[in-house]
Structure 1
Amino acid sequence: MKKVIVLALLAVCTLGAHAEKKDSVNPNKPVFTVVKKNPITSIKDQNRSGTCWDYSTLSYFESEILKATGKTYDLCESFVANKTYMDRAIQVVRLHGDCQFSEGGSTYDPLYCLEHYGICPEKAMPFPGSLYGDSLNNFGEFFSVMTPYVQSVAKSSLKKISSQWKVGLQGILDAYLGKCPEQFTYEGKTYTPKTFAASLGLDWNNYVSFTSFSHHPFWTQFAVEVQDNWRNPLTWNVPIDDLQKILDNAIMNGYTIAWGGDVSEEGFTRKGLAYNVDEKKLENMKGSDMARWLKLTPAKKKSIVDSLGVNVPEVVPTQKQRQERFDDWELTDDHGMLIFGIAKDQNGKEYYMVKNSWGKSGDYDGIWYMTKNFIIANTMDFMVNKNAVPKDIRKKCNI
């Protein structure tokens, strides 16, 4: 009898690990079953800082290390930010201020930092926000001090400037982010940032990025034209169908993806869901507020999307639609996240499981479930290990 009870309990636990319970308040809330879930490190919180590119990409490399070595690391976002903001300021000064200096960045920035400067573990630098009495990052004062400083140098009327402005800027960076260590001890061994990066077991040449736009030829590379892509790394341009093939192939073969895209659409909710909403169908729904969809506030629209849940009507993205939204500024580069799995709801619709960097917010403790339609429609670009790319696509790109 005891054996029967134990087996029954194990069966319940197994089901619970793969499917979530139905919500008694909102019957339309998705009940997810995991199709494939790859290992990730803990949820972080970028708080009031525009460093999603930093958190999401380091989280990506932490997952890559997990896959390659089985070891768990907590890499330091402040180290990457310190090095990256200095490099970005140097570019702004070289161009006499005719480019943007801001908190944002791209997936390429942490990769560049790892390859050229190295990295340190989180504990080798002050905890985010601690230097100015906060419990997490808050870049309000930091950038209100740093931005005018950089702009005053870049827009200077002097015929020649000295290199001392870099010393001053480094002081600001170190005051708010902490000084990057030249040497530190980790698990009993002494490292420099470069030797630590070399010890992580990754090959920096393995990482490639993809996008899908028709204003450049497919199967060629170009620098995606967004302001925070300031280093201008080259990204492979593939047809929209191949974009999803790469994502699915990567996940099903145990890889994660560093994703950058648009989360400003009404279909992206703060509760942990994202749908590629078909607004025309919502407008035509009678007997409710949907008939006045275009007149509703963004907050009200998101509330309706949450209430409809699995019944949200979706648009299937097309190549033409992606291009039009990019050209008319509707498709924007808002946020960086980590795609690590696939799940399906009770109706069989598939979603990507996505790790966010807003702490354990939303209904799923910092994880977002974003439909495949939403991800493909709103992808700006993403970084992935070239070994995760289908062989036929690798052959066309010669990677």
Structure 2
Amino acid sequence: MKYFLLFFGMLFSLILSAQEAYKFKTVTDLETTPVISQGVTGTCWSFSSISFLESEIIRLTGKKIDLSEMYQVRNTYPLKAENYIMRQGKAQFSEGGLAHDVMNSVAKNGLVPKEAFSGLSEGQENHNHAEMVAVLEAMLKTYIDNPGRRLSKNWRAAVEGVLDVYIGKNIQTFNFEGKQYTPQSFLVMTKIKPEDYVNLTSFTQAPFYSQFILNIPDNWSNGSFYNVPLDEMMATIDNALEKGFTVELDCDVSEKTFSSKDGVAVIPENAENNIKALQGIYPEKKITQQYRQDEFENYATTDDHLMHITGMLRDQNGTKYYKVKNSWGTDETKTAKGGFVYFSEAYMRLKAISVMVHKDALMEKTSKKLNL
């Protein structure tokens, strides 16, 4: 009898310690456009922000419009080149960017549908900017090296020429659903107002409820962010989703505990469970403001990807997760949830660099503290 009880106790202990597979229940699932792929490009900032704006257009007008990501990319590269040239190469020139780069472009250049500007050459089906970026960077470095001993006035035209070849010439007018538009009149039709969107972050190197320039590599345009406490940033995300607003996200996906293939992103309390936690539930680390700050300052948290938060879920233990739309396509060998990844609350608290929301998605107390 004693041995039987001992065996039963060991068996019960094993059952308790065994991994329990995830079972998710949807809490909020807001409407968005289909998942697509950014291809071989570093333009997640445009794909995610355009997806965000597509959901905003659905919210504002009820229309489902497939917007052009490449129109904003086409109009942002000359500004990147200007920044790089005028800083004599002592600045970031890469494919990366942030959500405010798209909103700045939209305010200046308007919006166009993808059918009017695909950014693809004839016969090309997928985006691939590897050669274009290499050509641009080599050309800009040549101008900076200044072989003519005086900066040529031709560099802007040269940049435009490269972009014309690889992405396409800018358009002034186009037809959509039987009506002619300019990019600016199309923007008006969508009811998107770029000035209505705000960027929030949460770091302690700047006072809370102030604006500051977040020093991260892809912030080449020196965009400002409103700084709020971590709990308030998370509450803002929740409030937005509950009120029917999706959220744009800049985050770190370099962790082994982020997996598009498994469709989850978590922060296990014990690092020994990092891989196992991609298939089932393990206790997660408590993420404080200080821990978040420490991980950012020691480069353990970096900004390397932008995505689109479209919903909220809970697992069988009641743990909160966020439904996050990716731009890596829907290949079932590479993604488990149709191109979405479920971020645990712990992962979001630690790895969300910043978020962008419509100002009406803010909590009233936050709006007052930010004077919005």
- TM-score of the two chains, using structure 2 as the length reference: 0.91
Does the CA contact (< 8 Å) of 1:97 and 1:155 recur in 2?
no
Match of 1:387 among 355, 360, 363: 360
Residue in 2 that maps onto 1:306:
278
Q: Is the 8 A contact 2:265 2:278 kept in 1?
A: no
Aligned 1:138-157 pairs, distance under 5 A: 138-156=128-146
- Identical aligned residues as a percent: 34
Match among 181, 197, 200 for residue 190 of structure 2: 200
Distance 1:198 1:151, change over 3 A: farther
Give 1:277's match in structure 2, choosing from 265, 268, 281: 268
**Could you say if the C-alpha distance between residues 137 and 191 of structure 1 is closer, same or farther in structure 2, counting changes exceeding 3 Å?**
same
Which deviates further from its counterpart, 358-367 or 62-71? 358-367
After TM superposition, list the pairs within 5 Å mapping 1:33-112 onto structure 2: 33-112=25-104
The one-letter amino acid paired with 2:229 is P
Q: Please, which runs of 5 or more residues in structure 2 have no aligned partner?
A: 1-17
Aligned to 2:241: 251
Deviation at 1:381, TM superposition (A): 0.8
SS in 1 for 2:190: coil
Contact 1:29 1:306 in 2 (8 A): no
Kindly provide the CA deviation profile for residues 265-320 of structure 1, in whole angstroms up to 9, marking residues without a partner as x.
12101221000222xx244xxxxxx5xxxxxxxxxx54x2323x22x221121111
Match of 2:338 in 1: 365
- What RMSD, in angstroms, separates the aligned Cα atoms of the two structures? 1.6
1: distance between equivalents of 2:124 and 2:367?
A: 46
User: How big is each residue's C-alpha offset from its partner over 1:4-31, in whole Å with a ceiling of 9 and x where there is no partner?
Assistant: xxxxxxxxxxxxxxxxxxxxxx973322
Q: Structure 1's 268 and 136: CA in aligned 2 closer, same or farther, altered over 3 A?
A: same
1:268 aligns with 2:258: yes
Inter-CA distance 86–34: structure 2 relative to 1 (3 Å threshold):
same
Equivalent in the alignment of 1:320: 290
> Which among 274, 290, 304 is matched to residue 334 of structure 1?
304
Paired residue for 1:347, among 296, 317, 327?
A: 317
Counterparts of 2:268 and 2:253 in 1: how far apart (Å)? 12
Answer yes or no: is the 8 Å Cα contact 2:144–2:151 preserved in 1: no
Task: For 2:125, give the aligned amino acid.
Answer: S
The alpha-carbon deviation at position 327 of structure 1 amounts to: 1.0
Cα deviations by residue, 1:361-383 (Å, 9 ceiling, x for unpaired) = 41110111111110111011111
AA partner of residue 140 (structure 1): A
The answer to whether the 8 A contact 1:282-1:313 is kept is no
The letter of the residue matching 2:250 is G
CA shift, 1:135, in A, is: 2.2
Which of 324, 329, 350 is the matching residue for 1:377?
Answer: 350
Greater helix share, 1 or 2?
A: 1
Q: Specify which of 111, 130, 134 is matched with residue 119 of structure 1.
A: 111
Query: 2:232 matched to 1:242?
Result: yes
- Measure the CA separation in 1 of the matches of 2:103 and 2:369: 24
Amino acid at match of 2:77: Y
Contact 1:275 1:374 in 2 (8 A): yes
Select 1:187's aligned residue among 163, 177, 183: 177
> Is the CA contact 1:266–1:277 (under 8 Å) kept in the aligned structure 2?
no
Distance 2:21 2:127 in 1: 33
Distance 2:153 2:107 in 1: 25
1:320-371 alpha-carbon deviations (Å, 9 max, x no partner): 1111111111110010000011011122111001111011141110111111
2:117 & 2:358 partners in 1: Cα distance? 28
Q: Secondary structure at the match of 2:21?
A: coil
Q: Kindly provide the amino acid, as one letter, of the partner of residue 27 in structure 2.
A: V
Which stretches of structure 1, 4 residues or longer, exceed 4 Å deviation after superposition?
none
Counterpart check, 1:164 vs 2:154: yes
Partners of 2:118 and 2:101 in 1: CA distance? 21
Partner-residue secondary structure (3-state), 1:124: coil
Paired positions, count:
351
Secondary structure class of the residue paired with 1:162: coil
Contact 1:78-1:178 at 8 Å conserved across structures? no
Q: Give the partner amino acid of 1:384.
A: V
Aligned to 2:367, what secondary structure does the other structure show?
Answer: helix
